[in-house]
Structures are given as C-alpha cells and as structure tokens.
Copies of this chain bind each other. A is one copy, B any other.
Amino acid sequence: MDPMRIVEAQAEQTPSKIVMLVMDGLGDLPRYGDGLTPLAAANKPNLDRLARDGCCGRFDPVGPGITPGSGPGHLGLFGYDPTEFEIGRGVLSAVGIDFALQPGDVAARFNFCTLDGKGRVTDRRAGRISTEENRRLVARLRTIPVPKGVKLFVETEAEHRGALVVRGKGLGHRLADTDPQRTGVPPLPVKALDAKAKPTAAIVAAFVEAASAALGGEPRANGILLRGFDSLPHIPSLADRFRLRPVCVATYPMYRGLARLVGMEMPPAPPALGEFPAAVRAARDGHDFLFVHVKYTDKAGEDGDFDRKCAVVEQVDAMLPEILGDGFDVVVVSADHSTPVALKAHSWHPVPALVWAPGRVFRDGVTAFTESACTAGGFGRMPLRFLLAEALAAAGKVAKFGA
C-alpha cells in the first residue's frame, strides 16, 4: 500500500503552520567548467541557512526518467501520486483563469495562431499578441452562434493563450488536439477519439470554422489551435486527505488553477512577486498550509539563461526573511520539476528540496542548498509526494500509526 494512505489516515489538524515555497523548474545540471548549477552559483545566504539548519534531499516528481508537466509536478508537491490523476491542459487553463468549471464541462486550451493564404500555420503563437488584443478578438469569438442546449465559453488567458469550454448534456471529452505542434502544415481536423465525444467534436468543429471566418481579416491572429481537451477530474482535496486548511500565493493562472483543484483558497487578486511578503502575511490567518509559487526560475531555465536563473534565486532569497517572517513552524523549499538551462525544457532529473523545522528534522550536515549537496542529504532520493509527508510530520500533523 502507498504509505501516503497511512499519512492520510493518521493526519490531524493542529495549529502549526507550514509554508511550501516552490521555485518552478529550479532543479538544474552542473555546467561545464566550474560544475555549478544556477542554484549553486547564486548568492543565497537565507536558503543556505535553512538548508544548514534543516534536512535536504532529492525527490522524483513522477518517477525516475519521467519528465513531468506542471500538473504532475504540482500534484507530487501536494502529496498526490501523479500517475493516479491526469489533468488535461484545458482543465488547467480554465481553472487557472478563475473559470467556474463544472463537472461534465469539456475544456480545451487554445492559442491564437497565424495561418498563411493556404491555411498553413506560420506562427503557433500569432506573434505573441498582447493580452489586450486577445480580449478584443475573444469578444468577437463570443458572438459565434452555438447549437441549442449548448453553452460555449471563450476566455482570455494571457497573450496568445485562451480557454474554450463547452457545456451541455452528455458531452465526451476525448478529442484530439488540432495543434499540429509545428509550422508549415494546416491545423489538424477536430476529431473525436471515442463515440461519446462525437457530439462535442461536431460543436467544436463548427466553432473552429466560424472562428476562422470571424478572424479572417486579422494580420496575425487569424486562426486558433486547440489542445488538451479534458473534463474536471475528481481529486480529493487536501482538507479531505490531510485535514489541512491550504491557501495559495501565486502570480500565474496555471498554478492558481492547480492549487484550486486540490481545494486551496487564494486571495482574489494574484500578487506580483514583489507583493509576496504582504500576500503571505495576509494568507497566514486561518490557514495552516501556504503554497507559494515563483514562476521565474522556470522561465529562465526555458530561455537557457543561467545568469537570470541565478538572479531569480537571489531575488527570492533576499525576500525570504520578509516572506517567512517568524510565523512558520515548517518551511519547505523545492520545485515541481527541473528545467535545466542547458536543456531549455522541463527534465526528468529529481528536484532538490529542504525542510526546515527546528528540532524536528534530522540535521544532515548539508550546509548549502544545491543539487549536489541535496544528493548527500538526509532525505535521500524519494518520490516527491513523500516530501509533504515529511513536512506534515515535522509539523506534528501525523499521529502515531498502530499501537
């Protein structure tokens, strides 16, 4: 049996407070020459102090060799086995823009794209149009008529990205992506992957055709590409599983969406990074698990920018005393996945993690928060969901099992 079932069964509510600081895509690989990762090269006295006084280790978000998307990575951080729950990109997009997705709704992520005269994709992101332009075009798409008994929601996410939600009775969600994932070819046709999805496919196909007509005159955003069709999965909440009262402090819609899927509350207005100290202070009251998400480490990794990844770590480190204040019993710092600068993409490498909880974790001799140091850390190498178990235990929230 997965030991997390026992953690669930033994979980109890206490006043102790846990903060989990997630630096997205933090894990990296040693570069040639000095063998440093961005985390190792960064000047980050506060993180190093937490590592020195805490316990470190490395954690596999899904499993060895498996590169996680943001969904599986965060499920792991939140204590879930990501192989048990699959969350489609469309559900993430919809939930992440505060769209009140209902059971049975079919959601997809869409990109505005540029099509040439022959209907071939020339830019899958329509030149990364502004969010304002996105809103203007979405307003136009909302005028497209839909069949009786069906509701269609077209929602702006940011830049070229949006969410499409189809609501109606008995709609299947197993539809193939229309995004061909490359340029020079036309979008793929809307296609049902099972019989139940055929009515959905017909509705979406009609919408895509009407959208092309409606966007015909646009110089850049004259088409849409759909992917990640899915319906809301049933995921038990952190409250149900671990009796936590969780809250999310995150700037970006996707991470707020992921947090909402496991039942986290969140401030109505997403804070910018500079506003995190105030947001964390405000979120502490009435909550005992704070998920704090920093996106910019991942962005720097995806851009292959070693120095910027360092700089983000240093920026977060400098804010850390203010973010943490003195109000937490347990501090966890980790990542949802690695995004090595050299690979410019998510990777399968385990993520570094530290748990700080004075007198409650094994001080392991690690003196700096780096991937290499974590290799020799007290937690060893474990599936990521066990990081939450360690944090809960350090917070005194897991009762003894058995007599």
A residues sitting closer than 8 Å to B (CB atoms) are 1, 3-7, 10, 29-30, 35, 58, 60, 62-72, 81-84, 86-89, 92, 109, 228, 342-343, 345-349, 359-365, 371-372, 375-382, 386, 388-393, 398-403
Contact = CB atoms under 8 A, between A and B. Distances in A.
A64 B3 contact: yes
A110 B176 CA distance: 55
B386 A70 contact: no
Given A69-B403, A71-B402, A378-B375, A63 B30 contact: no
Given A84-B1, A228-B403, A399-B67, A62 B6 contact: yes
Nearest to A364: B375
B402 A63 contact: no
Nearest to A399: B67
State the number of copies, please: 2
A160 to B, nearest CB: 17
29 contacts: A1-B81, A5-B83, A6-B63, A6-B83, A7-B66, A29-B362, A30-B362, A30-B363, A35-B365, A58-B380, A64-B379, A64-B382, A65-B391, A65-B392, A65-B398, A67-B393, A67-B400, A69-B400, A69-B402, A87-B402, A89-B403, A343-B360, A348-B390, A348-B393, A364-B375, A375-B376, A375-B377, A376-B376, A380-B381
3 smallest A-B Cβ distances: which pairs? A3-B63, A65-B389, A89-B403
Contacts of A67: 10, 393, 398-401
The listed residue with most B CB atoms (<10 A of its CB), out of A362, A382, A398, A402, is: A402
B10 A386 contact: no
A379 B58 CA distance: 10
B35 A363 contact: yes
A389 B60 CA distance: 12
Contact of A403 (B7, B71, B398): B71
B392 A69 contact: no
A190 to B, nearest CB: 19
Contacts of A389: 63-66
Contact of A362 (B349, B360, B377, B401): B349
Nearest to A5: B83
A65 B393 contact: yes
Contacts of A5: 83
Q: Which of A4, A382, A403 has the most chain B CB atoms closer than 10 A to its own CB?
A: A403
Contacts of A403: 69-71, 87-89, 92, 109, 228
B375 A65 contact: no
Given A72-B402, A400-B346, A402-B72, A66 B393 contact: yes
A347 B399 CA distance: 10
B65 A386 contact: yes
B7 A386 contact: no
A359 B4 CA distance: 35
Nearest to A397: B65
A72 B401 contact: yes
A89 B402 CA distance: 8
A49 to B, nearest CB: 16
